[in-house]
Structures are given as structure tokens and as C-alpha cells.
Homo-oligomer: A and B are copies of this chain.
């Protein structure tokens, strides 16, 4: 096995000789004039490259996962490895991913560009500002916020907004807990009306969610205009369009709307675009990026954040229904360590073989597999391999797969790149070729709000019942008043459990889902029932990752994780 110190992801990334991005574009059939270069190794893909016919015929592969441990189970790494392997098998494949959030790069979590020999490159640029998409969203969001505060102190065209009802905060892509709760507008009459407010991290902006669901600039303006701001003193709802904000906001977002082309370690195309979180938003890259991948290749591998209950459910019921997409297969990323965790093994012991805990944890995997079938989608289990996995443990999962008649393969893209995922790729191709059941969404958007929430809670999470706090009941009434009850549901829930209690591991049953409140994302076009405490602005740890990040005179970066 390993005898020397392992290479870091950055070490591996810096060893790879990148191809000019024009060469990668050629693999997608695009000439240099059809892309917009951002340096030598990144490019934006104009929207006119989307081909609706190709999208209809494409093979969309959704990579999801079981309920993860805090470290995550490696969906991005599996997605990239699988894409490399499909290309090795002669299938023209593009992996379509989310952009990393900059804040966590300097905190604990680090970047999000895959790992080992399954990475997207240049990882430094992708993890830092990339092509400025997040910054553009931040500017558009904060312009709207400035227009709101400008209006409430304006004498000329004051809309009569009641500052106490304003739900729109500001955003910043920095982990900065001191900005969660602030008082703004202090300093006298020239500097605004004092009121409570705060900052969320940029990935939590409603504009991030909007950008991921929109079709084009015209549709974007409509959605931006629909962002709900608050109420006037006489209870009239105010939207962004009432501030004439949507034209300037869309102008700020014109380039951010174009997906970004980069490359994998093995020189295959990767499209990376935007990134809402999956616990508080829909957790997947943009409709435009997915369509772009499907337009330019025959197989498209994409992922949706956290476990199947969060990212995949929202991918299928919000994004797919909205955009007319349907994946032909779901790859269920599974790790031995996470299943042992669900079987009761403490986090610190997960590298020690423990078949007993593993077997106790299997029901979590089983539940997610059952959930995929609710949509008429064939799941394939991908065991994302770690050095600590024992043969005996791996066999337990193969036995389960056999019992359930579900395809399973090891995925070792981290250590071996595409070669490590050839078996998985073959199983995925088989599953696509065998599958002929039509995609079936879990619920219809025009059902009433409580029915939709009930369906997700009981069928996907396994809840016995749903309870609504008084605030949530008031919100239900508001939603009806605003005529927004036909929007789909985007439940904000912990990723650590199928339930809303992070301590209920495995496959919890008999629990009640507690809806505290229901936020309205009228622009994005969904309702957000909040369960538990959802953090919209992370903090930094005692020793932030930033302390180890450095750059030398020649521009070589070190310490990025």
C-alpha cells in the first residue's frame, strides 16, 4: 500500500499539464470563436450553444448519496471519476458540477473540485474567484438591498415599506459570523433608517437559486422582479419589480448566466456553474449548465448536494419538473465509513473495520434506494473506496445489492482516475440501456402546500406526521393570500439525518417533521419550509484554513485544500 506521504489534491492538480481550453472545447465540437475565454484554461459557453433536440435525447446521470457524515461522501469525486471512465469507454461525456463557494475555502471545509485523481482543473482558480459568477450574484443582490434601504428613507417615491417586515438580507461570500445579525442605518438622518438586518453567505442568496432555474435573460428579469421584499405599513406586498430593480440586476448577471468550461485531470470537458446549497435551496447546478452539457455530449453526469432526501429530491421535483429534464439513472454514492456511522460507530472509529456496525447502517442506504425507485429511476450503488475499507465490509454491500437486485460497483476514481471507475461506468451504461420506465415526479406542483410537504415528509423522509408551528401556519395563510400555493417545495432540513433531527441516524421511523416557518422564494419559484436551525452564514474556526494558504513570487499557490 502507501509507503510515502500521500500527495494532496493540490499537489496532484499542480502535476497535471493542462490542455488549452480551446482543445477541450474542440472535444465538444466548439470552435474557439464559439467560446469566451477567461485566461487559457477557463471559458464561458454562450447560451446559443444549447440544442433543445439534443437535450431531449441525452442521457442524464444523477449522482446522489446516502445521508453523509460531516466530511461528505465524495459525490463530486465519484461524478468526475465516472465521467472519465465513460469517456474511456468511448461515450462522449461531460461532467456538470456546481461552483465551490469561496467562503468555506478559507474556513474548514476547503474547496469542492473533487479529490485525488478525480478533479476538475485548474483547481486553484475554480476554488477562488473562478469567472466571477458568485461576485456578480453578490452585486446584484446587494444592489437590490441598497435600493430597498434607499427607498425606505426616500421622500420622493417612498413605497411605504415597513422596515420590520423586510426579509431580504445582504450577502457576502466570506464566512463571517459577525455579520449574521447586525443593525444598519445608524449615524443620523443622512445615513439611512436604523433597522435589524444581516448577511447570508452568497450561495444562500435567492438570486443564486433563481440563476439555477432560469432559462434566459428575459425569464431571469421576470424572476428577479418577483423577489419578495416585505410589506407596506398597510400590508401590501412589495416585490423587487416595484423598485425597478430587475433590469439593472439582470445586466449585472449577464455573464454569470453563461456556464463555465474547464477540464478534468484526464483532459475531458467539465461544465461548472453556480451553486446553491442543498439544505436551504435546491442544491444543484443551473438548468442552463445541465442543458449545455446535454447539448454538447451524449452522456451528462451531474450531482445534487448532500443525500438523496435533500439534493436529489429537489433536483427531481423542482429542477426536472421546471426544465423538462429526466435522469435515466441515479448513482447512489455510498461509503463504508458512513454506513458504519449510521450503524452507531463513533466518528473517530470509522477507519476501523466493523462489519456489525456496517450491517446496522445498511437501512439508510436501502431507504435512499427505495426513494429513487419512487421516481421510476433505476439506482446504481457506487461504493466510493477508501484505504480503510476491508474486503469483508465491501462484500456486505455487494450482498445487499444482490439481495435487492440492484447494480453495484466500486468507485476508485480518487486513487486511479477514470480507470478506477470503469466497472461503475459499465454498470451505469447497462442501467441506462435496460431502463425504459418513464420518470415520475413525486408530487404535482398544483397540489396544495400541506399535501406537498406531507408527501415529501412521509414518502421520502419516512416521517409519521408533519406538525406546523404557529408561525408556519401564519405563513401558509400568507402564501395563499399571495397566490403562491402552486409553487414546488424546497424543504430546509439537516443533511445528517433522513429526519429533521441530526441525531436520528440510520433509517428513522415514527418521527414527526416539525415545520417552524415557511419562507417564500417567489423569484426562484419555490416555498422553503424550515425545519430545525438552518445556518445561512457560516463562521470561521479557531485556526482558519486561510492561515496556511500562500502564494510565491511566481504565483504558485500552496495550502489550498
User: Which residues of A are at the interface with B, using a C-beta cutoff of 8 A?
Assistant: 36-40, 44, 102, 106, 128-129, 131-132, 135-136, 138-139, 142-143, 145-147, 149-150, 153-157, 170, 172-187, 190-193, 198, 216-218, 221, 244-245, 247-248, 250-252, 254-255, 539-540, 542-544, 546-555, 557, 559-560
Q: Is the CB of A157 within 8 A of B543?
A: yes
Q: Is the CB of B542 within 8 A of A157?
A: yes
Q: Is the CB of B39 within 8 A of A251?
A: no
24 contacts between A and B (CB under 8 A): A39-B44, A39-B255, A102-B139, A129-B255, A132-B132, A146-B176, A147-B544, A149-B177, A149-B178, A150-B539, A150-B540, A150-B544, A170-B179, A172-B172, A178-B184, A178-B192, A178-B193, A180-B187, A181-B185, A181-B186, A181-B191, A182-B185, A244-B547, A251-B557
Q: Is the CB of B147 within 8 A of A546?
A: yes
In whole angstroms, how far apart are the Cα atoms of A154 and B541 in the complex? 8
Q: Is the CB of A540 within 8 A of B146?
A: yes
In whole angstroms, how far apart are the Cα atoms of A138 and B557 in the complex? 20
Report chain B residues within 8 Å CB of A548: 247
Report chain B residues within 8 Å CB of A154: 542
Q: Is the CB of A142 within 8 A of B551?
A: no
Report chain B residues within 8 Å CB of A184: 178-179, 182
Contact of A145 among B146, B176, B218 (CB under 8 A): B176
Report chain B residues within 8 Å CB of A178: 146, 149-150, 153, 184-185, 191-193
Known: A142-B174, A146-B176, A183-B183. 18 other contacts (CB 8 A): A37-B37, A38-B38, A102-B139, A106-B143, A128-B251, A135-B139, A142-B176, A146-B540, A147-B546, A153-B178, A156-B542, A156-B543, A181-B186, A181-B191, A187-B198, A217-B555, A247-B548, A248-B549
Q: Is the CB of B128 within 8 A of A553?
A: no
Q: How far is the CB of A199 from chain B (nearest CB, A)?
A: 9
Report chain B residues within 8 Å CB of A255: 39, 129
Q: Is the CB of B192 within 8 A of A559?
A: no
The 10 closest A-B CB pairs, nearest first, are A181-B187, A178-B192, A247-B550, A248-B546, A135-B135, A149-B178, A156-B542, A146-B176, A181-B186, A248-B549
Q: Is the CB of A551 within 8 A of B250?
A: yes
Report chain B residues within 8 Å CB of A193: 178
Q: Is the CB of B218 within 8 A of A192?
A: no
Report chain B residues within 8 Å CB of A542: 154-157
Residue of chain B at shortest CB distance from A256:
B129
Report chain B residues within 8 Å CB of A216: 553
Q: Is the CB of B177 within 8 A of A192?
A: yes
Residue of chain B at shortest CB distance from A186:
B181
Contact of A553 among B155, B183, B217 (CB under 8 A): B217
In whole angstroms, how far apart are the Cα atoms of A392 and B397 in the complex? 94
In whole angstroms, how far apart are the Cα atoms of A253 and B177 in the complex? 23
In whole angstroms, how far apart are the Cα atoms of A175 and B550 in the complex? 32
Q: Is the CB of B44 within 8 A of A36?
A: no
In whole angstroms, how far apart are the Cα atoms of A542 and B157 in the complex? 7
Residue of chain B at shortest CB distance from A253:
B551
In whole angstroms, how far apart are the Cα atoms of A217 and B131 in the complex? 21
In whole angstroms, how far apart are the Cα atoms of A178 and B131 in the complex? 29
Contact of A182 among B38, B40, B186 (CB under 8 A): B186
In whole angstroms, how far apart are the Cα atoms of A187 and B197 in the complex? 11
In whole angstroms, how far apart are the Cα atoms of A548 and B244 in the complex? 8
Report chain B residues within 8 Å CB of A177: 149-150, 190-192
Q: How far is the CB of A387 from chain B (nearest CB, A)?
A: 30
Report chain B residues within 8 Å CB of A150: 177-178, 539-540, 544
Report chain B residues within 8 Å CB of A554: 217
Residue of chain B at shortest CB distance from A38:
B38
Report chain B residues within 8 Å CB of A143: 106, 174, 546
Q: How far is the CB of A20 from chain B (nearest CB, A)?
A: 9
Q: Is the CB of B157 within 8 A of A175?
A: no
Q: How far is the CB of A125 from chain B (nearest CB, A)?
A: 8
Q: How far is the CB of A221 from chain B (nearest CB, A)?
A: 8
Report chain B residues within 8 Å CB of A254: 551, 555, 557
Q: How far is the CB of A512 from chain B (nearest CB, A)?
A: 26
Q: Is the CB of A546 within 8 A of B245?
A: yes
